[in-house]
Chains A and B, each alone.
Chain A
Amino acid sequence: MFNFNPQTQKKLARFRKIKLGYYSFIVLSVMLALLAIAELLVNSRALVVQYEGTLYFPTYTDFHPGTDFGLDYAYETNYRDLAAQFDKTASSNWVIMPLVPYNAYENDATDSIMRPEAPNAARQHYLGTDTTSRDILARLVYGTRTALLFAFAFMVSVYLIGIMIGCAMGYFGGLFDLGFQRIIEIWSNIPFLYMVIIVFSVIPAEASIPARITLLLLVMVLFSWTSMTYYMRTETYKEKSRDYVAAARIIGASTQRIIFTHILPNVLSTLVTFMPFTIVSAIAAITALDFLGFGLPVPTPSLGELLKQGTANLRTAPWIVTAAFGTLVLILSLVTFIGEAIRESFDPKQFTLYR
């Protein structure tokens, strides 16, 4: 297993003692694991199809046209209909559907009229449908997954840039530090929301959805990396003046070696405590942007978009806002609790009221 530094082991042990944070961590881990295999739980594609003696596993494969299963159409098989048909004909063929047999994009309207429908266990819309009759649970699951992935990518990018620039500023100091401080001051005064609006108004319409998401990530990272440099700069500055760095230099260590094997490991442990809060703010930011309509492009499922629908139909379809709001609160609370626990367990002062 991992051979951790005994100090790190102590911190982990302390983290385990902070129950709220530790259980939040377990719950979130389980949620992440479930989200990773969301295609097996919430999907319009069947898990297993047994047709004419052959087993099909359509979840992760290419689509099977209806003709594969003796249907009269060449577009993708509707497995719910297929299951119903197999039941009706009482053949030896069968279909196993996921727990929620809908994906996040399809409209499942009764009477072909698109309108929000209340939760209905019989039709397996456990949280109801949204204004265009898409399953809310499916959209929540995939929206949450996108938001978490997005937040994680955001955090990694922001930290990479922030650490590199902040560390260089703190280490080299002098004119480089001075110059970059001014650049950061100017840069951090550019209003982020206006930039997003401007950027989104000039994206060509034919840009693909992944390209749009990447661009959004890029814009967000571009206007967020500055905050990380402050911590890195001061921490590096502090560590650089300590005697172990002097000792390394006297032995003959190069600048590169001093930064990467001496200063960074000592600085990064403090940055760990910021990570959950960066994730929280990233999720909140992307949800807010979606709510305003400048976030992830339609029809990508997202919490913000559901909140927007929900507030627009607060009287007629309260289940939309309830589901979206509940999910948001749950995720943000879990991550915040974990963050609090990490901060607590990394705090050198042992005494704490937060257990």
Chain B
Amino acid sequence: MSAPLLEVRDLKMHFPVKSGFFSRAKARNFAVDGVNLTINPGETLGLVGESGCGKSTLGRCISRLYEPTAGEILFKGANLAGMRHRQLLPYRQNIQMIFQDPMESLNARHTVGEILEEPFLIHGIGNAQTRRQAVSKLLDTVGLPGRSASRYPFEFSGGQRQRIGIARAIALKPELIICDEPVSALDVSIQSQILNLLMDLQKEFNLAYLFIAHDLAVVKHISDRVAIMYLGKIVEQASSDDMYHRPFHPYTQSLISAIPIPDPHHTATRILLKGDVPSPISPPSGCAFHTRCPKAQASCQHDAPILKTLAPEHIAACHFAAAP
């Protein structure tokens, strides 16, 4: 196999929790707590988890919106963690991001043309004329009419806005795009259009995606491999097919049992989890999932499981991992 495009090693992102003005950080929010993952060129890695499990934080660390507390982010061998703005600038062209809410991620005071021109301006690519051509080519690529350039984001529908967001992300011909729940805010019918666009673009430009979502059906559709996250840690990782047919971790099993099946005769055997996700400020001892796990034993409270290879290309972190 070729060298990985992105390799994340033991990445940690701890946010200090402050109270009062002069007090030091009293506690830390273990948003991302020791994550390892790799993404190969042209591949899609789906990242799934409940809200608050740290998947967006992980994406924002890799795109270097956040400065990670510890760990390495190796992009083609270069460690992005700890880089300053100037050092980072050349890598910005290679790692881009698509956001959940396109209305939030597009500046309402700029026209679509200005929004799409900005990447070229910042990286000093081309002159005014070639930039304009590049913008209309981008609009064409994502399936928007050329006259959109002179209009403002709020004049578009949600799906069209997300297309603008995608156009901005692919403007600099990146190799990796972090998709932070790109379709969660859209209607189901629009979701499939955007997913198809993303997959078409992947073929055309050989893009790699880190596809963050909480919708397992969507992730299954688009991903080559899937990683499941719980409370800042990856609990299971496998190829997409393997994950959906043979989940080992009880958390993954319960998530997959929750996928609605469009068949009125299907009798649901859902594995319901008790309670809420524990706070990442004081994660449970031992296995973070033991508070809600249907298979938890006494030992889970103090022994933290490590990721074990349970099948080819399939790893899970559970003492009692077993295929259902």
Q: Which residues of B are in contact with A by a Cβ distance under 8 Å?
A: 21, 60, 63-65, 85, 88-89, 92-93, 95-97, 99-101, 104-110, 118-119, 122-123, 152, 154-155, 165, 168, 172
Contacts and interface: CB of A to CB of B under 8 A. Distances in A.
A6 B108 CA distance: 11
B105 A246 contact: yes
Contacts of B154: 7
A266 interface: yes
Given A246-B99, A252-B93, A5 B118 contact: no
Interface string A101-120: 00000000000000000000
Chain A's interface size range is: 20 to 34
A74 interface: no
Contacts of B60: 246
Nearest to A262: B107
Contacts of B85: 254-255
A252 B89 contact: yes
B122 A257 contact: yes
Contact of A252 (B99, B110, B122, B165): B122
A187 to B, nearest CB: 18
A265 B109 contact: yes
Interface of A: 5-7, 178, 242-244, 246-255, 257, 261-262, 265-266
A248 B232 CA distance: 26
Contact of B97 (A242, A250, A255): A250
Contacts of B165: 247
B107 A244 contact: yes
A242 B63 CA distance: 16
B119 A251 contact: yes
Given A246-B97, A247-B99, A262-B107, 12 more contacts: A7-B152, A243-B101, A243-B105, A246-B105, A247-B97, A247-B105, A247-B165, A250-B92, A250-B95, A250-B97, A252-B88, A266-B109
Interface of A is mostly: helix
B264 to A, nearest CB: 39
Nearest to B100: A243
A244, A247, A253: which has the most chain B beta carbons within 10 Å?
A: A247
B63 to A, nearest CB: 5
Contact of A5 (B64, B93, B123, B152): B152
A6 B155 contact: yes
Given A249-B65, A250-B97, A253-B118, A244 B106 contact: yes
B92 to A, nearest CB: 4
B89 A244 contact: no
Nearest to B93: A252
B120 to A, nearest CB: 10
Contacts of B152: 5-7
Contacts of A243: 99-101, 104-105
Contacts of A249: 65
